[in-house]
Structure 1
């Protein structure tokens, strides 16, 4: 109704939001891929057929880039100690310390993702004269993943090592491999594919099987070469508890040194040139970029886990506070109070702009009120649909019509306030229908001289369709549970425009209904609180209103509500420093609105992306269990709220579907409102087209909607 000059609503942020969500999903997916790391666990397919005897009878170092496999063995009394699955921040330094004490060198087959996490350990490995090889990026079974993934695992690991050390590796040991004799045909094919990118395969002569933690003596026995032969020995410095490996390594080095063995890297052991060559600038940049991407993905995943944890804690805490406050409120309002009954004259003010669909039902319901002294003032704010004519043709006693040029809802309310004869005023929207006892119940709170304003209980009349049922649940669960809590905590931020009662002196003291925000009801309520008056909630004063019947209308209404609430919160931000009722608004009401109506809804798109990530990567059983738990919590809240409002439980079946559509509309409204406020746009008034459905439903036989 208010006329504001407004620019076109901003839209570029939707593209940015979508792009941000895609990037977030990509980062979470990359994290899921990267965290697929672990220690050795034996062959991935023990039933696979063995490789050709031409290969399995040869040495553990295999060059497979030619037409014929070429294998090499280590000379007698030469041992190449090799360590898989690192670097590990706990165990790799201990392994390096043991090697240094014994003046021994070794080859470390590192996992690329762990290299990105601990590049300083990889640099220490090289600085102390050891050799590096690739063990894939995520410890993936290269025989079980698609060819593109296997190639990416090797490429990413090379990049990670190049970014951390400035060197590129050529040695490669596939995860879940062991001795050359146990090589399977699928593993052999994977090694041949790796050879196509310049990798040399390294298996083992002796598998210590230390990942099983069989005990130090068993590890030493399994790792000791027989008969003075040379050997490539397979051990682990990551992937789990490696305390037994560290202890066994010390004993193994002591024993084999005494027996005349020397310890060297794989390349030096077979007399080959250094397997590590200087990396190109491109490879270093690629590795650095990969490390940053992994760090960002890890950080975002941690942030999302923290966000979900905080949101869950806040949600449960909110429910607990709501339930406690609701019980206190019920006991307070359902017992006799001093000063009852209040029967002072009441003026009902109805601002109306093109309300032809509902105005007759609204006025008739008011005139039919079981209240002894009541006048109804309809302020027609320049309607073009004959709203004022409809009221005048009703010829109802106690009803006055005031016509004015269109100036907006606040101006119409202020016109009615000036014209009212009573000291108690009830402000009613033009699409709202009262029950016969509504006015009586609404004003009884004025028996307390400290009360300056009273909120009634707004209910959705047109709830037969799915969208109406969703809004009905929202009104009962969110609005009315919250109002009970606000009443007990004495920080009520909003008296709805559909039904609210005020002392005339209060409205005059605060300067009437403000016109500089689009949520004049919230703005006015906050002004009343800051003036030192109490604002309470009367659950039994029921008003039936017509809710939006389409998603487009719902969007327009909630967009205005949310934007106007932001305006009012900013306007009254100084309440944070006040005392009394204003301080309670500032330190209770405003933080609550900020957290639950702005911050958490703004994070909801990211939470939905996190849920999609879970659907793709996490076990469905765990995800369904978590979703069912949250749904049960919401169902309990809804059932409790419906019971307090004496409503049927039937609409509860729509609750799961509400999470799939309605919730997304609500949080996107918050996103749009915040962006509009940030860029400084002035939102124009968004009026909802009325159908008269609410009036027809309430007037139908049987009374209130089901």
Structure 2
């Protein structure tokens, strides 16, 4: 029906959503880059050909490459420069600092910039207690195999992280994966030259304890002890795994060698170089603070998104398992009922009741005749009347309606000014002659046995309404096939579950049967929401009536044939559903059948039709992020398992409805186009509801699937 409120739908939130998506992606890229780090044991993938010049390979562990030629520096006798790589670590670095402070010793910590951003307080403490900081790149890259720009980028980020965390920059660097001078390869030396060109002093080591292998405390102590009173630069690690042996070995080493006259100091002090820690500029402090804050927030987001991803995956999987289970229960229950033989009405002492069929019509000239002819051409044994309620159409709908009422004695045309679909239906209900009412959209056709099957459950006096089985007729294109799968897998499986749980939220406008008494008990259809069918069904449930699903009552409807039309239809459906949920929210605290409906149905709708679709963009972005940053096998395996589970549920749903399985080929495309469209619809609807904007009725343009002369579907799977 036409909309009377011409205010534009809200649009500004799309800009905010886009900016939020960009921020999310940027944050995930930052945390992915920062934590795409690896441990000390990772192997390189380049050829370690050649070696450093003899002046470096045969020289000391500290190399100054800022001048024209390399200058090697050694530590004096009985002087040990303790160095720790890969930190800071929130568990092990503080323990090592405690040991150093207890012994009055100092050390040099070669830190990874990304970990500095995560734990700035530890770096600040290390400097405050007289220790020294050096760079170990931002993400522990193999500088020998990195390009010059990547090296400069990594070192610059580390400097900014240090400036933001502790207000200092450093002149020292230890290249990841480097060790003793004579083990320096030609590619590593070229990387060292690049760092030296930027003013760094390159630190290697005399004694590599290889404590990352966890060889045992005594072996670490033995590897860290110089021979015959020599001085040494000793390499240990304060992160990258369990460092309990390192902590114990450091305590024992300091105790043992201090007694032998060794002093333990920083690398710069041991080699008589100027302090490596220099005050950072104001600009570096500001940008460094921004970098560390951004990374910490990104880490927090990634953690929360990982949790949300897991919750969404678990809930979706639970739903995929629950829907077929409830469908199986529903099938076993309803298919035990006799489908042939004497009418069930005879068991209660009479023939089937007469039926009034109401067809609200606004600009339905394309398919109205086919709809009415399918209603008249029924095998229902009792009288029926068909009321066409023209709601102020501006096309030939009233002309076609008049022709049909002259052609068929049981068809009547009612013309009224435009007032919307609920008002048209109420007009038809008021003028209907019978107490069993079937409400049908003007773009829908029935099979010959549909009315009989639809009315059959009303033999139970507790049943106030019956939902039929809606089928997509125009399913030849990709969009039509997507909607066909959605109707069969989603809508109908959901209705089977709601039937079992006795909490049906919607009798679709395309096909539904009602008792007049049930409609009267809720005051007819309301104009307060745009999902009049959902609003009506919820009200009937709250009034204490049962609402059931009849799988054999088939109605063929024309689904939107373009993405724009589909968007408009689902936008109205979703917004109207939100309105209905809010309108009937008190059902959750009511007693009896109303409370059962509220506590079972409304949380389900809120969770699976509102919350999860709103999380879907985050899930998609995080899944892509996981493929490139996390373990791709885990992410891909999760996706495959989910797809298999979804395909299994789809096959079962199609089998229950007697549909061909060949349509399943469109499911992968449904996951990358249709699904995104549907969750954007939910987001748009939710924003519209929160902002309090009123959404008008969006008219769907008909394409004439049921034009006169076209053959009508006659069986499931046709």
**Same fold judged by TM-score > 0.5?**
yes
Q: Does 1:362 align with 2:340?
A: no
Distance (Å, rounded) in 2 between the aligned partners of 1:697 and 1:519: 32
Distance (Å, rounded) in 1 between the aligned partners of 2:615 and 2:361: 37
Distance (Å, rounded) in 2 between the aligned partners of 1:438 and 1:89: 69
Match of 1:276 in 2: 277
* CA shift in 2, pair 1:687/1:148, >3 Å: same
- Checking the alignment, whether the CA contact within 8 Å between 2:541 and 2:593 is kept in structure 1 is yes
Match of 2:492 in 1: 480
Structure 1: runs of 5 or more not aligned: none
How many residue pairs were aligned? 706
Counterparts of 1:644-683 in structure 2, within 5 Å, are 644-683=656-695
- TM-fit CA distance, 1:151: 1.6
Distance (Å, rounded) in 1 between the aligned partners of 2:527 and 2:453: 29
What whole-Å deviation, never above 9, does each CA across 1:406-441 have from its counterpart, x for those lacking one? 221111111110110101000000111001111111
- TM-fit CA distance, 1:46: 6.2
Distance (Å, rounded) in 2 between the aligned partners of 1:697 and 1:274: 93
What whole-Å deviation, never above 9, does each CA across 1:308-331 have from its counterpart, x for those lacking one? 111111112223332232122112
Distance (Å, rounded) in 2 between the aligned partners of 1:602 and 1:206: 56
Match of 1:445 in 2: 457
Q: 1:400 aligns with which of 402, 405, 412?
A: 412
Q: 1:544 aligns with which of 538, 541, 556?
A: 556
Q: 1:345 aligns with which of 349, 354, 357?
A: 354
What whole-Å deviation, never above 9, does each CA across 1:572-592 have from its counterpart, x for those lacking one? 122222112221232121111
Distance (Å, rounded) in 2 between the aligned partners of 1:369 and 1:147: 80
Distance (Å, rounded) in 2 between the aligned partners of 1:196 and 1:385: 80
Match of 1:300 in 2: 301
Match of 2:27 in 1: 27
Match of 2:393 in 1: 383
Match of 2:638 in 1: 626
Match of 1:58 in 2: 59
- TM-fit CA distance, 1:245: 2.0
Distance (Å, rounded) in 2 between the aligned partners of 1:317 and 1:42: 39
Distance (Å, rounded) in 2 between the aligned partners of 1:299 and 1:277: 31
- Checking the alignment, whether the CA contact within 8 Å between 1:433 and 1:698 is kept in structure 2 is no
- Checking the alignment, whether the CA contact within 8 Å between 1:698 and 1:705 is kept in structure 2 is no
- Checking the alignment, whether the CA contact within 8 Å between 1:84 and 1:234 is kept in structure 2 is yes
Distance (Å, rounded) in 2 between the aligned partners of 1:302 and 1:678: 28
* CA shift in 2, pair 1:557/1:629, >3 Å: same
Distance (Å, rounded) in 1 between the aligned partners of 2:377 and 2:649: 35
Counterparts of 1:250-649 in structure 2, within 5 Å, are 250-336=251-337, 340=345, 343-371=352-380, 372-394=382-404, 395-618=407-630, 620-649=632-661
Distance (Å, rounded) in 2 between the aligned partners of 1:235 and 1:621: 33
TM-score (norm 1): 0.96
Any idea what SS the aligned residue of 1:421 has?
coil
* CA shift in 2, pair 1:264/1:696, >3 Å: farther
Counterparts of 1:126-137 in structure 2, within 5 Å, are 126-137=127-138
Distance (Å, rounded) in 1 between the aligned partners of 2:709 and 2:150: 61
Distance (Å, rounded) in 2 between the aligned partners of 1:8 and 1:560: 14
- TM-fit CA distance, 1:89: 2.3
Structure 2: runs of 5 or more not aligned: none
Distance (Å, rounded) in 2 between the aligned partners of 1:46 and 1:385: 78
Any idea what SS the aligned residue of 1:681 has?
coil
Counterparts of 1:101-112 in structure 2, within 5 Å, are 101-112=102-113
Segment of structure 1 superposing worse, 473-482 or 8-17: 8-17
Distance (Å, rounded) in 1 between the aligned partners of 2:344 and 2:354: 16
* CA shift in 2, pair 1:316/1:701, >3 Å: closer
Any idea what SS the aligned residue of 1:328 has?
helix
- Checking the alignment, whether the CA contact within 8 Å between 2:503 and 2:601 is kept in structure 1 is yes
Segment of structure 1 superposing worse, 213-222 or 510-519: 213-222
- Checking the alignment, whether the CA contact within 8 Å between 1:356 and 1:387 is kept in structure 2 is yes
- TM-fit CA distance, 1:402: 0.9
Compute the RMSD of aligned alpha carbons: 2.0
What whole-Å deviation, never above 9, does each CA across 1:207-236 have from its counterpart, x for those lacking one? 112222223333223222223221111111
- TM-fit CA distance, 1:248: 2.5
Distance (Å, rounded) in 2 between the aligned partners of 1:80 and 1:95: 15
Match of 1:84 in 2: 85
Distance (Å, rounded) in 2 between the aligned partners of 1:627 and 1:93: 40
What whole-Å deviation, never above 9, does each CA across 1:441-487 have from its counterpart, x for those lacking one? 11111111111111111011111221111101000111001011111
Q: 2:698 aligns with which of 677, 683, 686?
A: 686
Distance (Å, rounded) in 1 between the aligned partners of 2:589 and 2:213: 63
- Checking the alignment, whether the CA contact within 8 Å between 2:143 and 2:191 is kept in structure 1 is yes
Segment of structure 1 superposing worse, 269-278 or 77-86: 269-278
Q: Does 1:116 align with 2:137?
A: no
Distance (Å, rounded) in 2 between the aligned partners of 1:43 and 1:556: 55
Any idea what SS the aligned residue of 2:305 has?
helix
- Checking the alignment, whether the CA contact within 8 Å between 2:320 and 2:646 is kept in structure 1 is no
Any idea what SS the aligned residue of 2:529 has?
coil
Any idea what SS the aligned residue of 2:145 has?
coil
